[in-house]
A and B are shown apart, each in its own frame.
Chain A
């Protein structure tokens, strides 16, 4: 057998339609997380492939190509190119880690390989996530690429929620009863440790990687969660890039009959934001990457959309308004958000009109842009003094040519579509109600166990306010004789990868893989599971 780097034997890849999470078995976090796409600046020859995009200086005017459509891999060659670069970067990261003594594998430091070498796939097994209900044709093509083009020695492909489930079922109950605890602030996890301080160290460690209950648990809640864990039951929410799934499980097994899918994900939200601002203010049709970043940084889920709509009118007094200075291609390459106006600061301050309301994050203006502006203002002032004052130029402040995109109610009305798809004309139930439909499709006796452990995974769960809104809305729907426990991992986009990493390090892994030899003997495409 060929020598692998750092003693690792399995490459673990969560191949999401939006982003790829790539690393080794047994590690706590992936080595690389990068967009699953290529991007080409308009009118330039340069092409960013996959993780190369992480180093792109600009985000503007990119033409994107993604191997996935609606969550399924449709462009195999494009995906192969993205994987190829990702594997090489993984090998480089592993080699660099080894040099720094960071290699955490059991046989670390066995061979000092060169950092630029491509990953020797023959020395590794590949654990790959796939979408639920993957197509046979896609599976066959995936195996062909994995075995014939990369030459991995074995492969395990299974749906991402399968690995999230593995992660969930291996975490013990940790939350302490705290009945008087109020609803947590959006974005701030209600760590059980702050409630009682009786949580032991290992439980805190588990919480750090896994997640706390959205609402601190009552004694009945702890009992419900304990029962659900004992039965290996619950519902996994996988709110990803292409869709949001509710996946019930029992006895440690996914229940396919109960899976329900809402056809909205991060991609649709980005496009919705893009469409809305293009219609209302500036044409951002070609700014997919920039809009995705703005969505990730600025969008949030309202706890009461109608009330927040009223607060956001008129625009000049809206606490929700954010003025984004768009990239100018010179100093400001990625865009930034202007500081809040004095009026809004006053309204948001203690005693102010909007004090205490949930509002989105406010990223600071990058220091290098402040520096550039100061320098330019000084130059302008000097030039103005020399010329006797030019009427066109103002001293200080942002330059006249800045393109400013005003965002206001879009910031919460776009994510609102996840909870009320019918608002945008999609006749499907929202995030919370999808759970109701999933549970209703399972045997009735399971309902109390399923509601006892609802876990939020997938990148959309990162939206500030998502967990609180989800919990609150679902609570009003679930019959009052059932206890509802909603758990929110701190890095919901990594849950599937973390489960996969642990699974690949476990004893069962090698009994589940399909080896290259089996593939060659049986021919591609067929697999027994």
Chain B
């Protein structure tokens, strides 16, 4: 687990599924993967497993539990976030709990998705893309500037050394 270069096990499990389902890694798939990665930046914990408590000390045990919990949650982004509040609520005393709404549901129920053009709300305030800068390219393995792109998955790499690491352990796993 603490070896140089090995990523979290649960991520590998998840990525493997993505790659199996989609043999052809087209642009839209890459964008989807990038989006779920951005969504994950708002998570509180590495995974939203129903019971993160309990098995504490052993690293091996933890990894195993994570893998299991990942089995029935293929779509990582929003689905799990919805599930988490339900699990939370059960831990509170019966009857006293108020409903925990996901952010996504708050947005849906607020009606702002159907708001007329010109309405000022959370979504309309989102900053647009940059007109000053183009995205830069950094090596997905070491973080330095890169000029090469993996033809299979679109990840960036900077050198033969990093490309070897990439193809051997990370290609088609959608980790930056």
Contact = CB atoms under 8 A, between A and B. Distances in A.
A350 interface: no
B22 interface: no
Contacts of A281: 4-5
Contacts of B57: 42-43
A522 B102 CA distance: 28
B54 A43 contact: yes
Which of B37, B89, B102, B135 has the largest count of A CB atoms less than 10 A from its CB? Answer: B135
A278 B132 CA distance: 32
Contacts of A288: 44-46
B127 A437 contact: yes
Contacts of B121: 133
A77 B96 contact: yes
Contacts of A138: 106
* B contact patch SS: loop
A261 B125 CA distance: 6
A426 B34 CA distance: 9
A282 interface: yes
Interface in B6-39: 6-8, 10, 34, 37-38
Contact of A280 (B5, B129, B134): B5
B143 A413 contact: yes
B2 A286 contact: no
Interface string A417-457: 00011111111111001100100000000000000000000
A44 interface: yes
Contacts of B2: 282-283, 403
> Of residues B97, B126, B127, B135, which shows the largest number of chain A Cβ atoms within 10 Å of its Cβ?
B127
Contacts of A429: 127-132
Nearest to A417: B41
A298 B127 CA distance: 28
Contact of A283 (B7, B97, B122, B132): B7
A112 B149 CA distance: 71
A155 B6 CA distance: 51
A280 B143 contact: yes
Contacts of A271: 40-43
Contacts of B52: 42, 63
Nearest to A315: B142
A487 interface: no
Given A78-B88, A276-B143, A280-B5, A430 B133 contact: yes
A137 interface: yes
Interface stretch (A64-72, A193-201, A220-228, A355-363): A64-72
Interface string B145-164: 10000000000000000000
A333 interface: no
Main secondary structure of the interface of A (DSSP, over half): mixed
B64 interface: no
B106 A43 contact: no
B130 A430 contact: yes
B110 A136 contact: yes
Given A262-B127, A281-B4, A40 B110 contact: no
B106 A135 contact: yes
Interface of B: 1-2, 4-8, 10, 34, 37-38, 40-47, 52-57, 62, 81, 85, 88-89, 92, 96-98, 100-103, 106, 109-110, 120-122, 125-136, 138, 141-145, 175-176
Interface of A: 37, 40-44, 61, 63-66, 69-70, 72, 74-78, 132-133, 135-138, 141, 242, 245-246, 256-257, 259-264, 267-268, 271-272, 274-276, 278-283, 285-286, 288, 306, 309, 313, 403, 409-410, 413, 420-430, 433-434, 437, 477
18 contacts: A63-B53, A64-B44, A65-B88, A69-B102, A72-B103, A74-B100, A75-B85, A77-B96, A132-B122, A135-B106, A267-B42, A274-B46, A285-B47, A313-B144, A423-B136, A429-B130, A430-B130, A433-B131
Interchain residue pairs A-B with the least CB separation, the first 4: A43-B56, A285-B46, A422-B135, A42-B56
